[in-house]
């Protein structure tokens, strides 16, 4: 599965753009601000029905225009598939496959598996626990519809429970029966979420370890650990035992919404110990592990987007990453970078089928 042709109309900085791509490696180089990342975001959009960077579709419309359109032609097992997305403020966003419109965007997500590695991934390390939970939940729910249903149910019940805790004046007696109903529902869905998350981390950690060791040439030792109080007691028991705390704080203090993913290096949090290069290596290894995990689940190689990932990395790690992704267990790859010379030098060294474009003034020019 690969993207053969891309057409953009009024998407971000592009009034109009058309490009053909290799089924293997595609490199886009150019100065900062030219719109390299916007091309990758358009490709991401066709997989997930949304931008990687913003939840507001109106922010993806080119300044001064009234709509945007993204179109892609894909190869699926020798067959051509056409994907269309159009958005105009005040109207329903439209997604089509082979000219047939989807009734639900959820029916499209998962058709074109994709993994994007971006400088914004640093939030996984420096951000709050919600960023790391979002990383786990996004991967699992993409291919596990039962998990997604329980996650949505848990989120809804949690909001209702917190509303009850907050809106009941402290001078009044809270509705204990309603609180117990919420506790039972949270415990049921929370236990499923906990087990699926734990299984996911257990499965992905050795894959992550392998990628990190390869990229760093074994220079550092790293770890991934799922942190949750549900290892100690079932959620229902925790909610019951800590009800007084929740009543005092007017908030649900225990549950899978408080879980975290501990990112460690040499026994310490990488957030505190790691250099910029080590942190970037850690993130790339996590995303490559995500790539392999998703590929096994869906039975095909996801598209891999590498957006400006070589900054802050030494040449050895750059070459190791490119050597990894040019192997046969990877499919179509898109790489952006500010240095055409750096990219071309690496490509010349590893060989293989590729296309290299220079982006300037909203136009892609092949580099021979």
Domain at 1-113+300-368, CATH from 3.40.50.300, 3.30.70.580, 3.90.550.10, 1.10.150.20: 3.40.50.300
Residues present in the chain in total: 368
The answer to whether residue 324 scores a pLDDT higher than 90 is no
| Average pLDDT, integer, range 38-64 | 95
pLDDT tens sequence across 114-133: 999 998 899 999 999 999 99
Task: Say whether pTM exceeds 0.85.
Answer: yes
Residues 6+ apart with CB under 8 A from 113: 1, 47, 142, 294, 295, 298, 300, 301, 302, 303
SS3 content of the chain, % helix, strand, coil (to 5): 50, 25, 30
Q: Are 96 and 102 in contact (CB under 8 A)?
A: yes
The answer to whether residue 350 scores a pLDDT higher than 80 is no
Q: Is 329 exposed, middle or buried (0-12, 13-18, 19+ CB in 10 A)?
A: exposed
pLDDT-derived band at 76 (thresholds 50, 70, 90) equals confident
pLDDT of 167 reads 85
Nearest-angstrom CA–CA distance, 364 and 236: 57
Residue pLDDT, tens place only, 102-114? 998 988 988 899 9
Under 8 Å between Cβ of 82 and 98 = yes
Please, which pLDDT band fits residue 357 given cuts at 50, 70 and 90? very high
Each residue of 118-142: b (16+ CB within 10 Å) or e?
Answer: beebbbbbeeeeebbbebbbebbbb
Tens of pLDDT, residue by residue over 137-166, are 989 988 888 999 999 999 999 999 999 999
Q: In the predicted model, what is the mean pLDDT of residues 69-96?
A: 94
Closest by CA to 42, choosing from 29, 34, 33, 51, is 51
* 39, pLDDT greater than 90: yes
**Higher pLDDT pick, 320 / 263:** 263
CATH number listed for the domain at residues 125-298: 1.20.1050.90
For the chain, residues classed under CATH 1.20.1050.90 are 125-298
């Amino acid at each position: 599965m690969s993207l053969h042709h891309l057409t953009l109309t009024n998407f971000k900085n592009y009034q109009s753009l058309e490009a053909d791509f290799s089924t293997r490696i595609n490199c886009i180089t150019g100065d900062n601000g030219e719109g390299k990342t916007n091309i990758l975001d358009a490709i991401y959009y066709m997989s997930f029905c949304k931008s990687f960077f913003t939840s507001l579709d109106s922010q993806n419309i080119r300044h001064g225009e009234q709509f945007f359109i993204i179109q892609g032609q894909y190869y699926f097992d020798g067959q051509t598939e056409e994907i269309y997305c159009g958005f105009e403020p005040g109207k329903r966003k439209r997604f089509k496959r082979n000219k047939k419109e989807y009734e639900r965007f959820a029916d499209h997500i998962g058709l074109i598996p994709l993994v994007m590695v971006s400088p914004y991934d640093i939030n996984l390390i420096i951000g709050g626990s919600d960023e790391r939970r979002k990383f786990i939940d996004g991967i699992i729910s993409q291919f596990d519809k039962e998990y997604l249903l329980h996650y949505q149910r848990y989120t809804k019940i949690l909001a209702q429970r917190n509303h009850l805790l907050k809106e009941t004046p402290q001078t009044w007696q809270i509705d204990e029966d309603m609180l117990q109903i919420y506790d039972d529902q949270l415990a049921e869905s929370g236990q499923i979420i906990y087990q699926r998350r734990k299984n996911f981390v257990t499965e992905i950690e050795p894959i992550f370890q392998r990628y990190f060791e390869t990229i760093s040439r074994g220079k550092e030792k790293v770890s991934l650990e799922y942190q949750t109080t549900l290892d100690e007691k079932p959620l229902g028991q925790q909610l019951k035992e800590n009800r007084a705390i929740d009543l005092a704080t007017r908030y649900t203090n225990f549950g899978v919404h408080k879980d975290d993913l501990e990112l460690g290096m040499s026994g310490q949090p990488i957030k505190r110990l790691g250099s910029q290069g080590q942190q970037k290596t850690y993130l790339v290894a996590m995303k490559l592990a995500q790539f392999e995990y998703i590929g096994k689940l869906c039975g095909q190689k996801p598209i891999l987007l590498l957006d400006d990932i070589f900054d802050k990395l030494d040449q050895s790690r750059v070459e190791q990453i490119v050597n990894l992704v040019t192997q046969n267990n990877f499919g179509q790859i898109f790489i952006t970078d500010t240095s055409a010379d750096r990219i071309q030098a690496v490509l010349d060294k590893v060989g293989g089928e590729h296309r290299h474009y220079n982006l300037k003034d909203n136009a892609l020019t092949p580099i021979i």
